[in-house]
Amino acid sequence: MKQQITELKDGVNIHFNTEIKKEKIILMVENCQQGQCECMSQETKQKITNMQVNGEDGKVELRLSGDISTSEVKQALSKSKVLNKK
């Protein structure tokens, strides 16, 4: 899966540039918001003020607002059971 992570002034944008389904990213966000994932530490989760999914299958963008770094996002994505599920 190809991802492009860009740090913004007020958060981080993640562009998924492969044939990933938008519903998979939405599921990942919902799991995170409901505390059903272990991708990020509680400290990192508390930094995020908003998560927004845009785009369509194959070109999905996830915007995380808050004081979060690209390195924190990369680490979380590598641990995501939803994204890394075969």
Contacts of 10 (CB under 8 A, 6+ apart): 65, 66
Query: Considering the entire predicted model, what is its pTM?
Result: 0.88
For strands 59-66 and 48-56, give the pairing: antiparallel
- Which tens digits make up the pLDDT trace of 38-84? 888 889 889 999 999 999 999 999 999 999 999 999 999 998 888 88
- What are the boundaries of each domain within the chain? 3-79
Q: Which residues of 58-76 are buried (b: 16+ CB within 10 A; e: fewer)?
A: eebbbbbeeebeeebbeeb
CATH code of domain 3-79: 3.30.1360
